[in-house]
Structure 1
Amino acid sequence: MVAIRVPRSMRAKREVLKHAPKLVENGKKMLILHGTKTSAVLNSVLADIFHLKRDHAVKYTKKNDNIRPFESGGETSLEFFSLKSDCSLLVYGSHSKKKPNNLVFGRTYDHHIYDLIEVGVENYKSIESYAYDKKLAPKLGTKPFFAFIGEHFESVEKLKHLKEMLLDHFKGEVVENLNLAGVGRIFVCTAISPTTVCMMHCALRLKRSGTSIPRMELVEVGPSMDLVVKRNQSPAESLRKEAMNTPGHAKKVKNVTKDVLDGKTGRIYIPDQEVAKLALTNDIKGLKRERRDAKKNKEHSKKQKVNPE
């Protein structure tokens, strides 16, 4: 287990807060792991995924024997590696006779397994198998487009889950503004059947169209593969509520408003002031002398009734 150390300086506290879960995550890192046994195809798949996420990925090449993602207690090692490498996205590859070229995509919240989905890789083509003009090679680290083709992504629950998982794993950092000139690649995912998705990675080639908007062409640069969905694990209800927690609305302050021009404005209460034992009220017209004398006489008579001599 990882030893828990209490930070003793402000610099150490700031580093701990950087690794703490946030309401809005940005730039998630991916952890790539190998199982007890892997095939040559699966090794190439994991290498290509690491190539696509090179700036935001950590890859362990050592084989792991005690990882069983969908079994009770088998996710402990995944949570340990997630905490050790500070990664919230997981990709685990394993190969066996019953489940050849098996991939498991997973997400964590606070370094606890949030959800998992298992797919089988078929009809795989690596990046090296494609021949194209190297000038068209997309720059890694840029923001990619996503195209999900097929009605099964909206009607089948497992494909909905796979769509969320692929978006979270390959979308990159969250940005507010995007320069279209720097976007040069796209992931095309086509639902062939309720359990099979064809995934391709293409480069965007801009050509003249006679207008100010260029015409786009797709050039397949790899990798491409068919993902056959097998098992999936949804998050626990308690963990889902904690992960989906959003910041509450600020408490409304009495007599405070916000204006577009003046900004934050408010009203304050000022009690009646006295000058030389003379009460000054907020009445604009003021009090006449006769009315003021009548008020004093009335108060004097009340005191005499309460405290008779």
Structure 2
Amino acid sequence: MTSLDKVVKPKTKRSKRFLQKRESKLIENTKNAMLIKGGNTSEIVTQTLKDIIYMYAKPHGTYQSRKNITRPFEDQTSLEFFSKKSDCSLFLFGSHNKKRPNNLIFGRIFDYHVLDMIELGIEKFVSLKDIKNSKCAEGTKPMLIFAGDVFQLNNEYKRLKSIFIDFFRGPNVPRVRLAGLENVLHFTALDGRIYMRSYKVLLKKSGCKTPRIELEEMGPSVDFVLRRTHLASDDLYKTALKQPKALKPKKKKNISSDAFGTTYGRIHMQKQDLSKLQTRKMKGLKKRKGEKAAAEELEGDSPKRSKLE
């Protein structure tokens, strides 16, 4: 048992507030990410980590510039220790060696234990500074686009998509204005590779209320290849996705909604007698003699006989 695993009783108000922030909540805070350099890293790996920090990790990310001699697929204790110390549930580990050059490991942590890890190799990299275009501000919430059937069919790519969403989604916001949608992250899976491209959205004049949209590449641009995976079991993954009962919406009778959020309601009413419905008094709505006679026959009353009979 390490010093972090012991039961700690707060002695000051400051330490009490610190422990309360780490307690489980109904609505969790934005996930923090830690970016770690391995014992040996190349210039490409270092620049990739810095670009990801500049664009997406700030202010919910920490960068550990010191080298950490660890192998996540063989020993995960150091990652779990760092996650508990810095209160991070996401990590990105960069390393470089002869067997696996320019290596990145994307991972998630649940209950301070490693949940998923996916190892990707960098085949081609273009940094932010190499593309001479205007950039987005730090902390911009990006729009994520995933292209490729493999993201829906392959279990490993499904988990990779989920990790990318957790890593790049940014904080939860109640509203988004049109001018704030200025960054697009596009992931394409094709022929065993994942192509990551980042674009800036330009709103041009179109002569109407809806602006004309253009995309301008701003970087970073990375070509990944899938290497090793460490996925959680189905039971553990289901436990990690479990929601508390207080957050689950209560079912309401006769009310349903479709995929687009439109709400439909079902109303139960008694059968109405439209013959007794009061209409507006006008000549066009008055019944004629023939109609009156037909109505009386339907009701069962025999019509009056004429005097000639």
TM-score (norm. length: structure 1): 0.74
Q: How does 1:233-252 map onto structure 2 within 5 Å? A: 233-248=230-245
Offset of residue 237 of structure 1 = 4.4
- For residues 131 and 18 of structure 2, the distance between their equivalents in structure 1, rounded to whole angstroms, comes to 43
Aligned to 2:66, the other structure's residue is in SS state strand
Q: How does 1:1-309 map onto structure 2 within 5 Å? A: 1-3=2-4, 4=6, 5-8=8-11, 12-52=15-55, 53-65=57-69, 67-71=70-74, 74-132=75-133, 134=134, 137-193=135-191, 195-248=192-245
Offset of residue 26 of structure 1 = 3.1
Offset of residue 82 of structure 1 = 0.7
- For residues 99 and 11 of structure 2, the distance between their equivalents in structure 1, rounded to whole angstroms, comes to 51
Offset of residue 141 of structure 1 = 1.0
Higher deviation after alignment, 30-39 or 4-13: 4-13
Offset of residue 23 of structure 1 = 4.3
Offset of residue 173 of structure 1 = 0.6
Unaligned runs of 5+ in 1: 251-309
**Deviation string for 1:53-85 (max 9, x for gaps)?**
2211101111111x22222xx000000111111
Offset of residue 8 of structure 1 = 3.8
Q: CA contact under 8 A between 1:20 and 1:110: conserved in structure 2?
A: no
Offset of residue 10 of structure 1 = 5.6
Q: Which amino acid is the alignment partner of residue 27 of structure 2?
A: V
Unaligned runs of 5+ in 2: 248-309
- For residues 176 and 87 of structure 1, the distance between their equivalents in structure 2, rounded to whole angstroms, comes to 23
Q: CA contact under 8 A between 2:26 and 2:246: conserved in structure 1?
A: no
Aligned to 1:222, the other structure's residue is in SS state coil
Offset of residue 18 of structure 1 = 1.1
TM-score (norm. length: structure 2): 0.74
- For residues 21 and 234 of structure 2, the distance between their equivalents in structure 1, rounded to whole angstroms, comes to 26
Offset of residue 144 of structure 1 = 0.8
Number of corresponding residues: 243
Q: Which amino acid is the alignment partner of residue 141 of structure 2?
A: K
From the superposition, tell whether residues 249 and 94 of structure 1 become closer, same or farther in structure 2 (CA, over 3 Å): closer
From the superposition, tell whether residues 242 and 104 of structure 1 become closer, same or farther in structure 2 (CA, over 3 Å): same
From the superposition, tell whether residues 226 and 12 of structure 1 become closer, same or farther in structure 2 (CA, over 3 Å): same
- For residues 12 and 35 of structure 1, the distance between their equivalents in structure 2, rounded to whole angstroms, comes to 32
Offset of residue 14 of structure 1 = 3.5
From the superposition, tell whether residues 14 and 161 of structure 1 become closer, same or farther in structure 2 (CA, over 3 Å): same
- For residues 153 and 85 of structure 2, the distance between their equivalents in structure 1, rounded to whole angstroms, comes to 38
Q: Which amino acid is the alignment partner of residue 140 of structure 1?
A: E
Q: Which amino acid is the alignment partner of residue 220 of structure 2?
A: P
Q: What is the percent sequence identity of the aligned residues?
A: 39
